[in-house]
Structure 1
Amino acid sequence: MTDDLIFQTLHPTTHDLGGFKVHRTLPHRDRTTIGPFIFFDQMGPAHLPPGEGMDVRPHPHINLATVTYLFAGAIDHRDSLGTLARIEPGAVNLMTAGRGIVHSERSPPELRREGPELSGIQTWLALPRAKEEIEPAFEHVARDRLPVFEGSGARARVVMGTLWGATSPVTCHSETIYADLALEPRGSIPIDPAADERAVYLAEGDASLDGQMLEPHVLYVLRPGTSATLRSAGGAHVMVCGGAPLDGPRHVWWNFVSSSRDRIRQAREDWSAMRFPLVPNDSLEHIPLPEVPLTVSYP
Structure 2
Amino acid sequence: MSNIKLIIDERPANIGNFMVGRLLPFREKRMVGPFSFIDHMGPAAMSDHENLDVPPHPHIGLSTLTFLFEGEITHRDSLGNDVVIKPGQVNWMTSGSGIVHSERTPEYLRTTDKMLHGLQIWVALPKALEQMEPEFFHVEGKDIPEWQENGVNFKLIAGEAFGKKSPVPVYSPLYFIEIRSTSRQKINIGNDLFGESALYILEGAIESEGNIFEPKHILIANNAKLCEFEMHENTSVYIFGGEPFPEERFIYWNFVSSDKELIEEAKIKWLNQSYQPVPGETDFVRLPDPSKFIKR
Assess same fold via TM > 0.5: yes
Question: Could you tell which deviates more after superposition, 235-244 or 105-114?
Answer: 105-114
Equivalent residue for 2:159?
Answer: 161
Runs of 4+ more than 3 Å apart: 16-21
Percent of residue pairs bearing the same amino acid type: 36
CA distance in 2, matches of 1:243, 1:46: 30
The DSSP-based 3-state class of the residue aligned with 2:225 is coil
CA distance in 1, matches of 2:271, 2:216: 34
Equivalent residue for 2:245?
Answer: 246
C-alpha deviation, 1:20, in angstroms: 5.2
**Equivalent residue runs for 1:51-70 within 5 Å:** 51-70=49-68
CA distance in 2, matches of 1:102, 1:20: 19
The DSSP-based 3-state class of the residue aligned with 2:215 is coil
Question: Which of 286, 294, 298 in structure 1 is aligned with 2:295?
Answer: 298
Equivalent residue for 2:78?
Answer: 80
Amino acid at match of 1:240: I
Question: Could you tell which deviates more after superposition, 174-183 or 271-280?
Answer: 174-183
C-alpha deviation, 1:297, in angstroms: 4.7
CA distance in 2, matches of 1:121, 1:209: 24
* Residues 70, 115 of structure 2: 8 Å contact kept: yes
The number of equivalent residue pairs is 295
**Equivalent residue runs for 1:61-210 within 5 Å:** 61-193=59-191, 194-210=193-209
* Residues 207, 230 of structure 1: 8 Å contact kept: yes
C-alpha deviation, 1:154, in angstroms: 1.7
Question: Which of 35, 38, 49 in structure 2 is aligned with 1:37?
Answer: 35
C-alpha deviation, 1:17, in angstroms: 5.7
The DSSP-based 3-state class of the residue aligned with 2:171 is coil
The DSSP-based 3-state class of the residue aligned with 2:138 is strand
What is the root-mean-square deviation in Å for CA atoms of aligned residues?
2.0
* Residues 148, 166 of structure 1: 8 Å contact kept: no
Equivalent residue for 2:256?
Answer: 257
The DSSP-based 3-state class of the residue aligned with 1:172 is coil
* Residues 75, 88 of structure 1: 8 Å contact kept: yes
Question: Could you tell which deviates more after superposition, 160-169 or 138-147?
Answer: 160-169
* Residues 204, 214 of structure 2: 8 Å contact kept: no
The DSSP-based 3-state class of the residue aligned with 1:281 is coil
C-alpha deviation, 1:8, in angstroms: 1.8
C-alpha deviation, 1:259, in angstroms: 0.5
C-alpha deviation, 1:90, in angstroms: 1.1
Question: Which of 44, 51, 54 in structure 2 is aligned with 1:46?
Answer: 44
C-alpha deviation, 1:192, in angstroms: 3.8
Superposed CA deviations along residues 7-47 of structure 1, whole A, max 9, x for unmatched, are 22222321256885311111110011101000011000111
CA change 1:113–1:225 in 2 (3 A) is closer
CA change 1:192–1:111 in 2 (3 A) is farther
CA change 1:32–1:296 in 2 (3 A) is farther
Amino acid at match of 1:229: E
C-alpha deviation, 1:164, in angstroms: 2.4
Amino acid at match of 1:109: E
CA distance in 2, matches of 1:177, 1:243: 6
* Residues 20, 45 of structure 1: 8 Å contact kept: no
Question: Could you tell which deviates more after superposition, 260-269 or 14-23?
Answer: 14-23
TM-score of the pair, normalised by structure 1: 0.92
Is residue 15 of structure 1 aligned with residue 13 of structure 2? yes
Question: Could you tell which deviates more after superposition, 155-164 or 107-116?
Answer: 107-116
Superposed CA deviations along residues 105-137 of structure 1, whole A, max 9, x for unmatched, are 111121222222110110101100000000000
The DSSP-based 3-state class of the residue aligned with 2:238 is strand
* Residues 149, 156 of structure 1: 8 Å contact kept: yes
Equivalent residue for 2:212?
Answer: 213
CA change 1:82–1:289 in 2 (3 A) is same
TM-score of the pair, normalised by structure 2: 0.93
C-alpha deviation, 1:204, in angstroms: 1.7
The DSSP-based 3-state class of the residue aligned with 2:270 is helix
Which sections of structure 1, spanning at least 5 residues, go unmatched?
A: none
CA distance in 2, matches of 1:112, 1:207: 37
Which sections of structure 2, spanning at least 5 residues, go unmatched?
A: none
The DSSP-based 3-state class of the residue aligned with 1:247 is coil
Question: Could you tell which deviates more after superposition, 28-37 or 151-160?
Answer: 151-160
C-alpha deviation, 1:225, in angstroms: 4.4
